A and B are shown apart, each in its own frame.
Chain A
């Protein structure tokens, strides 16, 4: 081993260690921010390691430097700008977009190596001579393409640019996807057999497969899909690692792939759905229309903001249940003002966070943290559920399915078995909602019919603003 090899080995080892520490640190609130920076540092270190290795061995041509600089500047610039500008509410879409681009990168590398086999360097790089390389190129293209198109579709659907086409909810889509999958397999084996031209077929059909699988999935299931695609992009990176013979790439890709799978599992558990039903079951609303779970509301009580304010003033303990509606209305800061007033009046305020509230696990935490809600006030479902019977008022803000008692009581309901927040146990429940439309599952919410539930109709932000006014009139929090 000569010096550049040893140096690269040491740097790679250090980078893997730091990346592992980074991922570990990201799982604790205290260390998360430093861990993220540590991971970023490890990534830069790995680039330094790679470049120094080539400088010390084959050298890097001026032409290569030019293209490296062009690619880096453009990519980093766009990434940084988007990351700075995007609002916190569109975080899931943003992660999906970044993720798709990672998949695209792996796809392009494999494509480049496949079309232009690189002349053998010092380590006897001999692409396309060995079966292994052909397999890793094919896997890299296949997974990379699915990751890219799947992520873009997920992003477009979350942004509302794409709706769910009707045909995707019928059995037709299974047939279509099976055709794509079989075609991918054929192209895959044809490619491994040495027929390089079928690479384009592989690119096209795996891209179509990514679209075909993601398009039918409803908004509520999107986080699971994004997490799964995140795992895929790790797998794609690991496959690209086999293509260019880089252990570092394989380790990092495998770690991300495994991490994504665990997160996916956690999310599925929170929604009481299996991965299979998310991927092949179609949108939940399509199933529920056929089930007995739907029905008319019979006992809706609607009340004014003023009544709500009066009840709040008299309360000792208030639990807030935030949901996606809060994020859409951008009402987190207004909510914080309301709760500040309540706290100043000596009322205990806690936020109940359902694991899948919002569009991603942790979505609500991020949103409320943005509004300066102290971290200690955010309670997880299992912690807060026993507290509801001793609670005077629950404010449900833009959450729906996660507070539906059907999940506990009605075994015929599609939601049955999903862990929910037991808000109906509280003395009074206020549901702030724009109208009577169903949640993402499309299922009737039995909570709204209960005698201790009152609906306050209106946009979350507007209602909360009115609430602040009413509380002021009552002299709450004016000390």
Chain B
């Protein structure tokens, strides 16, 4: 893809992000931050690309693997911890009766 079209992607992605979370109740700020934080671990795709394209270059494989580890730590931990927080909210209705 050309650089210009990637810039368009960046621009539209940013606008989408601004639009998506316009109004959020304060209750959800921490979970939302934590969920968005997990999504920022999408950089795992870059780490994967690095490993696949390393072509036997061991130092590069190691760097990619460590990078993948960090990213997945962020992703898996982030989604789990968000789920834990949200579980407390969604449990409410069933507990009331």
Q: Contact residues of A with B, CB < 8 Å?
A: 19-20, 22-24, 26-29, 32-33, 35-37, 39-40, 43, 46-47, 50-51, 54, 58, 60-61, 63-64, 67-68, 70-72, 74-76, 78-80, 82-84, 86, 88, 91-92, 94-95, 98-99, 101-102, 104-106, 108-109, 111-113, 115-116, 118-119, 121, 125, 130, 132, 226-227, 230, 233-234, 236-238, 240-263, 266-267, 353, 355, 360-363, 365-366, 369-370, 372, 374-375, 378, 380
Contacts and interface: CB of A to CB of B under 8 A. Distances in A.
Residue of A241, A243, A378 with most partner-chain B CB within 10 A: A241
A91 B51 CA distance: 32
B6 A259 contact: no
A24 B51 CA distance: 32
A26 B32 contact: yes
Interface string B59-74: 1111111111111111
B84 to A, nearest CB: 7
A91 B89 CA distance: 16
Given A109-B50, A237-B46, A252-B40, 11 more contacts: A58-B52, A64-B51, A67-B64, A71-B66, A82-B77, A95-B37, A98-B41, A237-B41, A244-B45, A254-B13, A366-B31
B43 A74 contact: no
A375 B89 contact: yes
B30 A116 contact: no
Contacts of A43: 38-39, 41-42, 44, 75, 79
B77 A83 contact: yes
B23 A27 contact: yes
Given A63-B61, A249-B43, A255 B6 contact: no
A257 B89 CA distance: 26
Interface in B8-33: 9-18, 20-33
Nearest to B18: A258
Contacts of B27: 29, 353, 362, 365-366, 375, 378
B17 to A, nearest CB: 3
Q: Name which of B36, B55, B75 has the most chain A CB atoms within 10 A of its CB.
A: B36
Contact of B53 (A37, A72, A125): A125
Contact of B50 (A27, A242, A244): A244
B10 A362 contact: no
A29 B28 contact: yes
Interface of B: 1, 3, 6, 9-18, 20-57, 59-92, 95-96
Contact of A76 (B6, B38, B73): B73
A32 B31 contact: yes
Contacts of B12: 251, 254
B9 A95 contact: no
A255 B39 contact: yes
A380 B88 contact: no
A398 B55 CA distance: 57
